[in-house]
Structure 1
Amino acid sequence: MAGVSKEKADTIRGQLQDAVVQCSERCLYQSAKWAAEMALSLPEFDDSDSGSPMEDVDSQTVPRPSSISSNPDPEEARKEAKEFPLYLLAKSYFDCREFDRCAAVFLPTALPRGSPSELSPNRKTSASPETLKGKGKDPAPVEGSVLPPPNTLPDLSQKSLFLALYAKYMSGEKRKGEESETILGPADGGSIVNKELVGLSRSLEGWLADRQAKGLGHTNQGWLEYLYGIVLARGKTEDAAKIWLLASVRRYPYNWGAWLELGALFGKLEELRNFQPELPQDIMANVFLLHESQTLYQTDNTTHKALTQLQSIFPRSHFLKTERALLYYHANDHQEAESIFSALLHEDPHRLDSFADYSNLLFVMEARPRLAFLAQSATATDKFRPETCCVVGNYYAMKSEHEKAAIYFRRALTLDRNFLAAWILLGHEYVEMKNTHAAIESYRRAVDVNRKDYRAWYGLGQTYEVLEMHLYALFYYQRAASLRPYDPKMWHAVGKCFDKTDRPLHSIKAYQRALGAGTYYDSGSSFGSGASHEPPSGGLNPEILYQIALMHEKLRDVDEAASYMELTMAQEYGPGGDNESSGDEQRGPGTGATITTSEARRWLAKWEFGRGNLSRSMELANEMCQDGFEVEEAKALIRDLKARTEAHKPFG
C-alpha cells in the first residue's frame, strides 16, 4: 500500500505538533504525549532534491519555534496577552498539583452550588441530546427544557478559563480519592462523588448558553465543550455528554483525550455505528474508529485493513503497533501478539503504556521467564506506575502467590482508581482466594470503569455461579456474550446456566452458538481456573456436544441424544474419523480418549443394552476398558452382557 505524501505528512505533523503545545498549555499531558508520539511516527522525507526544503510546505504547517501558541481570534489573542503573567502563575500551580490555588488565580469566588440531582440523566437542559439541530451545529435550548443558569464566570480568555475550571475538576477528583480512603474499604464506593461537578456543570452550561445567545458559539475553541462533556459523563448524563464531546472534536479534532471520553460512552458496536455519520471526516476520526473497534473486540479483516492503512501513514507508531497486538490477542493468536509486544519492548523498553496488556498475554501463555523479565524491566523504569504493579501482580499470580498478587493490584488502584486491568485482575485473585464478596465488588468496579470489557462481566458470572446463584450468573454471562458473540467460551457458560435453571431448549441454542463460533476457547486462559481439551482445527468441542446430548435426553428426545453422543465420540479421531475405519496410525488430529468421550461411550453402551443391541453394547464396553476412565463400570457391563447372552442361548 502506498504511503502518505510528503505534503500530507507535513500537514499532519504540523497539526499534531500544534496539538502538543495546545494540550500542554491546558495541562492535558496524556493527550500531549500521544500527539507528540504520533507526530514523530510519521515518515521522514529526503529534501536534498529540492532547492529549498520548505518551499512547498504551507507556512501554517510549519511547527512554531515558540512553546506558547498564538490565537488567530484577535479578541482571544488580546485577552491571552493581558492574562499571560497570571496564566503562567496558574499553570505553575497546576504543574505542582496545587489545583485549588491554580483555580483561585482566575476564579477568586466559589462556583455556584446546587443539588446533585441537577446532574440527573433525566434532567433536560440546554445540553440535552434533542438539542442537536444539524451536523456541525452547536446544541441550543429546546422548548420544554430547563432554562440555563446565568453566566457567572469572569470575562476571561477560553484558555485561562479552561485551565481554571479544569483545576477545579481535578481538585474534586483529588478529594474524592482522599475521602474514599483504602481500596474496597467502607468508604470506597458509589457514595463518594466529585463535589465540584454540580458547580462546574452549572457554570459551563451558563457560559456556553450565553455564548450561543450572543452569536459567539462559532468562535468557541472546543476545549470548554470537552470539559463540559467530561462533567456530564461523570454525572451519568451520557447522551448529552456525547453531544458536547462531539462538538469538541469537531472544533478541535487533535485532542485525543476528547476522543477517548467519547469512545467510553459507547457500550456496543451498534451504538458506535449509528453515531459514526456524525463524526468529522478526518484522520483523527479514523484513528478513533480503529481504537474503538479494537476495544469492542472487532478482529475481522475490515479492522485489520483499516489499521494497515493507518500504519501506512504512521509507520513508526507504537500506539498503532499496540493496537495490532491487541487485535491478535483478542483473536486468540497469542504467538503473533507476543512477537509484536516483544518488538515494542525492544524498541522502547521504558514505555510502560501497554505493559499491563503484555503481562496478561504472557500469563495466558504461561511464559514465566518472559513475565519475570518484563516485571524486572518495568520495576527498573518506574515501580510506582499502575502498569508496573499489574505486571508484578501477574508474576505472583502465575506463581500462585495470590495474596502477594492482590497486594500489587491494590497498589495499582491506589495509584489510579480507574485503572481497569487492576480491578479485573484483583477480582480474579479474590476468586482464587475464595473471597467471593470482594471479587464481586472488584468486578463491579471494573464495569463502572469500562462496561465494554467482557472480562468483568464474565468474572461476575463466574463468581455468582460459584455461589450457585445461577439466574444472576446467567445475566452476567449474557452481557459478556453480547460483547464477545464469536467466543465459544461465552456461549458455553450461558448454556450451562440455562441448564442449571432448567431451560434445556435455551441451553441447546446457546451450546449450538458455541459450536458455531469456531474452535473452543480455553476456559482457563483468561481466568486461571479450569482446563479443557482444545480440539484441533476443524474439530468440534466434545464437551459441548456431550452437553447438547444431555439436554436432548432431558427433553426425552433419546434418538437425538444418541446422535450427539456418537458425534462426541467421533471427535477422538478428528474430522471424518471413526473407530472402525481409522487405526491409530491413520487417525486425524483428534482429541483422543477423554473423560467426556468416555462418558459418551458409556451412555451409548447402556442405551444399546437397554434396547437389546447387545453386540454394539459389548463393542462399546470393550472400548471403555481400553479408554481407562470407566474400567470397573465397563467390566460390570460386560458381565451383564455375557449373562444376558448366556440366558438367550438355546439348549442342546
Structure 2
Amino acid sequence: MPAFSKASAEYIRTALQEAVVKCSERCLYQSAKWAAELSVSLPVLPSASTSFNTDIDSQMQDVDQPAPSVVLSSNKDAEEARLEAQELSRYLLAKSYFDCREYDRCAAVFIPSALPRGPLSPNSPNTKKGTPTKAAKGKGKEAAINAGIEAVPPSNILPPMSQKALFLALYAKYMSGEKRKDEDSEMVLGPADGGSTVNKEIVGIIRCLEGWFADREAKNLGGSNQGWLEYLYGIVLAKGKTEEDAKKWLLRSVHLFSYNWGAWLELSELLNSEEELRKFVPALPQNIMTLIFHLYSSQELYQCSDSVHQALTDLENIFPNSQFLKTQRALLFYHSKDFDEAETIFSALLHADPHRIDALDHYSNILYVMSARPKLAFLAQVATATDKFRPETCCVVGNYYSLKSEHEKAVQYFRRALTLDRNFLSAWTLMGHEYVEMKNTHAAIESYRRAVDVNRKDYRAWYGLGQAYEVLEMHLYALFYFQRAASLRPYDPKMWHAMGSCYDKIDRPIQSIKAFKRALVAGTYYDQASSFGSGTTTGEPNAVLDPETLYQIALMYEKLNQPEEAASYMEMTLAQEEGPRDDDDDDDDGGGRGTGVTNTTSKARMWLAKWEFARGELGRAMELANELCQDGVEVEEAKALIRDLRARLESRRSPS
C-alpha cells in the first residue's frame, strides 16, 4: 500500500464524519457509531500552523465563540434541499418518534398507514422463478405464501417528499414490522417461534420502493439518488430471500454512498464463499471502504492467510487506534485456533475501553475453550456492570455458567440474549451446545437450525447439527451437515474426522479412508493440544499426527481386507507415542514431543501383537504383548496372549 498522506487522512476523516451525521439523521445508529469510532482512530497529523503551546490562555482562546447549531447534513441537489427545508419540522418530529421507538407514529408523519401487509407473493416481480422465498421453508409457511397479495404493476403512491424523509418513514415501517414479529413469536423456541411469523410490513415497503424507483426512472431522475433507499430495498429483498436482486441494489447503494457500513454488512452476509467474494470485489467502488469490507468478509469466511493479515496490517497503519480492526485481528487468531494471541488482544481492548461490549461474546468463547474460569468470571462482572441487557453480556454470563457445568442457567441466559435480539447468532449456537450437554437433542437441533438461518457461514452450527443427528443415529443426515461444516473449515481436522466416522457407520470404508486422510493433512496446520483444537498453528511438516485418526484408517483397511496396509497404519499409530525425531536429537525419548501411551496406541499395539502372532512372528508378538503389560492398558488380554505365545513357543521347541 502506498504511503498515506495527510490530505488522504483528512479526506477520509471528513467522509467518516459526514457519514456519522447522515446515518444518525436516518436513525442508523450502529453504522453511525462504527463511522465515528473509525474517524477517531485516525491519527491527528500536525500542520505547520499548529501551535503546541499548552498555556491555559491558548486553550481558552475560543471560549467566546458561539456554540454550534444543530448539525444537519447539507444537500447538493437543489430540489432535495428545497424539500428538506420545507419538511424540517415534520422530519424532526418523526425522528423524535423514532428515537422513542414509536415507529408507527414516525412513519405516519410522512406516509399513509394503510400500506399492504403480508408475506411476499410468489408472483411478486422481485421473486424470480426458482428462487425460494423465506415463506417457502418449513411448516406453516405455505399458508403464509398463499395469503400473499397478487403482484401489481409498480406505481408511485407516495406524496412528494425528500429521500431522507422517505427513508426514515419506510425504515420506521420496517422496524415496526420487526418489533411486531418478535412480539408475535412470543417465547424463544416456543410454539409460535418459527418461520410462520414474518415481518408483515415488508410487502408494503417493497411496493412503495418499486413505485418510487419506477417513477424516478420514468422522469430520468435516477442520477440524483442518494443510495439510502437502495440500501433499504436491498435489506427487504434479502429478507424475502431474493438474494441476487438484494446484492444488485446493495451494490448500487455502496456506489452512491460508500460510507454506510450497514450496507457493507448486508452485502457480506449474502456472500457464502471466498470464491464468491473474490468475484464480487471488482464490481465494488475502489476506495478505503472496499478494503475494509474485503478484510471483514474474509474474516467472516474464516480466511486466515498471510495476505489477509497483511491487508489488516496495512489498514492498521491508516487507523492505528481502531478497536474494530484490532477486534478483526483477534478474530483471525481465534479462527486459526491461536487462542493465546486472540486472548491477549481482547484483554488489551478490554483494558483500553472497559465499557465496550462489542464482540465480548467471542472473547468469552475464547476464555471458555481455554478454561480460564477466573478471567471469564471477571469478564462477566465487567459486562454486567456496564449493560446487563445486551445480548453480548448475556452470552458472556451464559458461557460462565456453562464452564461451571450449570447448563440450565446457561440456557436461561442464552434465551435472554435471544429475547433481546432474535438474530443474535452466538446465542443460538451456544444454546444448541448446552442442549447437547443436557441430552435434549431435538431442542439442540432446532437451536442449530435457527443459527444457520441467521448465518449460513457458522460452521459450529453445521457441525453441531451433524453431532446431534449422529446421536439420533441418522448418519446420512449427519454426513450432510458435516460436509457443510467441512466446506467452511477445510483445514479443521475435526470436520473431516467426523465425516470419516459417518462414512464408517454407513459402511463406505473407501470414502471413510479419504476423509480420515484429509483430517491428517488438516491436522498438520494445528497443534493437536486438546480435543477442542485449542493449540496454535504450527505449519511443521513433521508434527505429531493424531493417533486416533491413524488407528481409524488402519481399521478401514482391515475392513477392506488389506491387512498389510492396516498394519502399516497401526505402526504409524505406535510411532506417535515418541513423536517425530530431530536429526540432531541424541536422546532416546524422541525429544519428548510425542503423545505417550494412550488407549488408542495400546489398542494399536494389541492389534499388531495379534497380527504378528497370526503370521508366525512370535518374537515380535511377545515383545508387543510385554509392552502392553508394562503400559497397564489391555493388561488381561495381553496376559492371555502371552500364555498363548508361550504355548506356541513350547510346542516349537518340543521334539516332533
Verify: 1:570 aligned to 2:575, yes or no. Answer: yes
| TM alignment of 1:402-413, pairs within 5 A | 402-413=407-418
- The 3-state SS of whatever aligns with 2:190 is coil
CA deviation profile, 1:340-384 (whole Å, cap 9, x unmatched) = 000000000000001100000000000000000000000100111
Verify: 1:38 aligned to 2:38, yes or no. Answer: yes
Q: Is the 8 A contact 1:572 1:591 kept in 2?
A: yes
Verify: 1:436 aligned to 2:441, yes or no. Answer: yes
| TM alignment of 1:333-412, pairs within 5 A | 333-412=338-417
- The 3-state SS of whatever aligns with 1:184 is coil
Q: In the alignment, which of 613, 618, 625 is matched to residue 609 of structure 1?
A: 613
Report the equivalent of 2:532.
525
Output the TM-score relative to the length of structure 1.
0.91
Q: 1:309 to 1:124 in 2, by over 3 A?
A: same
| TM alignment of 1:120-269, pairs within 5 A | 123-124=127-128, 148-269=153-274
| Structure 1 segments of 4+ aligned residues over 3 angstroms from their partners | 48-52, 112-115, 118-122, 519-524, 581-588
CA distance in 2, matches of 1:625, 1:329: 42
Q: In the alignment, which of 87, 102, 107 is matched to residue 106 of structure 2?
A: 102
CA distance in 2, matches of 1:453, 1:612: 53
Q: 1:526 to 1:173 in 2, by over 3 A?
A: farther
Q: In the alignment, which of 473, 496, 518 is matched to residue 478 of structure 2?
A: 473
1:91 is matched by which residue type in structure 2? K
Report the equivalent of 1:57.
none
Verify: 1:463 aligned to 2:435, yes or no. Answer: no
Q: Which moved more, 1:111-120 or 1:603-612?
A: 111-120
Q: Is the 8 A contact 1:6 1:45 kept in 2?
A: yes
Q: Is the 8 A contact 1:2 1:312 kept in 2?
A: no
CA distance in 2, matches of 1:43, 1:204: 41
1:87 is matched by which residue type in structure 2? Y
Report the equivalent of 1:589.
593
1:315 is matched by which residue type in structure 2? P
CA deviation profile, 1:507-555 (whole Å, cap 9, x unmatched) = 111111111112365674389xxxxxxx997111111110100011111
Q: 1:420 to 1:282 in 2, by over 3 A?
A: same
1:185 is matched by which residue type in structure 2? G
CA deviation profile, 1:56-104 (whole Å, cap 9, x unmatched) = xxxxxxxx97511110000000000000000000000000000000000
Report the equivalent of 1:278.
283
Report the equivalent of 2:639.
635
Verify: 1:16 aligned to 2:16, yes or no. Answer: yes
Q: 1:355 to 1:119 in 2, by over 3 A?
A: farther
Q: 1:303 to 1:586 in 2, by over 3 A?
A: closer
Q: 1:179 to 1:169 in 2, by over 3 A?
A: same
Q: In the alignment, which of 500, 510, 513 is matched to residue 518 of structure 2?
A: 513
Q: Is the 8 A contact 2:98 2:172 kept in 1?
A: yes
Deviation at residue 116 of structure 1 after TM alignment = 2.4
Report the equivalent of 1:558.
563
Deviation at residue 108 of structure 1 after TM alignment = 2.7
Q: What root-mean-square deviation, in Å, do the aligned CA atoms of Structure 1 and Structure 2 show?
A: 2.4
Q: Is the 8 A contact 2:578 2:590 kept in 1?
A: no
Deviation at residue 228 of structure 1 after TM alignment = 0.4
1:330 is matched by which residue type in structure 2? H
CA distance in 1, matches of 2:16, 2:383: 28
Deviation at residue 577 of structure 1 after TM alignment = 8.8
Q: 1:6 to 1:463 in 2, by over 3 A?
A: same
Q: Is the 8 A contact 2:117 2:202 kept in 1?
A: no
Q: Is the 8 A contact 1:608 1:617 kept in 2?
A: yes
Deviation at residue 285 of structure 1 after TM alignment = 0.7
Verify: 1:71 aligned to 2:78, yes or no. Answer: no
- The 3-state SS of whatever aligns with 1:644 is helix
CA distance in 2, matches of 1:583, 1:548: 30
Q: 1:453 to 1:175 in 2, by over 3 A?
A: same
CA deviation profile, 1:311-359 (whole Å, cap 9, x unmatched) = 0110000000000000001111111111000000000000000110000
CA distance in 2, matches of 1:149, 1:526: 54
Deviation at residue 152 of structure 1 after TM alignment = 1.0
Segments of 5+ residues of structure 1 without an aligned counterpart are 53-63, 129-145, 528-534
Verify: 1:598 aligned to 2:602, yes or no. Answer: yes
Report the equivalent of 1:92.
96
Report the equivalent of 1:56.
none
CA distance in 2, matches of 1:84, 1:525: 57
Report the equivalent of 1:141.
none
Deviation at residue 120 of structure 1 after TM alignment = 6.4
Q: Is the 8 A contact 1:42 1:315 kept in 2?
A: yes
Identity of aligned residues (%): 69
Q: Is the 8 A contact 1:389 1:412 kept in 2?
A: yes
2:107 is matched by which residue type in structure 1? A
1:348 is matched by which residue type in structure 2? D
CA deviation profile, 1:439-484 (whole Å, cap 9, x unmatched) = 0000000001100010010010111111111111100000000000
Q: Is the 8 A contact 2:16 2:39 kept in 1?
A: yes
1:376 is matched by which residue type in structure 2? Q
Q: In the alignment, which of 301, 312, 321 is matched to residue 317 of structure 2?
A: 312
Q: Which moved more, 1:266-275 or 1:479-488?
A: 266-275
Deviation at residue 38 of structure 1 after TM alignment = 0.2
CA distance in 2, matches of 1:9, 1:520: 41
Deviation at residue 153 of structure 1 after TM alignment = 1.5
Deviation at residue 182 of structure 1 after TM alignment = 0.3
Segments of 5+ residues of structure 2 without an aligned counterpart are 53-67, 133-150, 535-539
Deviation at residue 585 of structure 1 after TM alignment = 4.4
Report the equivalent of 1:490.
495
Deviation at residue 558 of structure 1 after TM alignment = 0.8
- The 3-state SS of whatever aligns with 1:626 is helix
CA distance in 2, matches of 1:124, 1:402: 44
Aligned length in residues: 615
Q: Is the 8 A contact 1:152 1:203 kept in 2?
A: yes
2:550 is matched by which residue type in structure 1? L
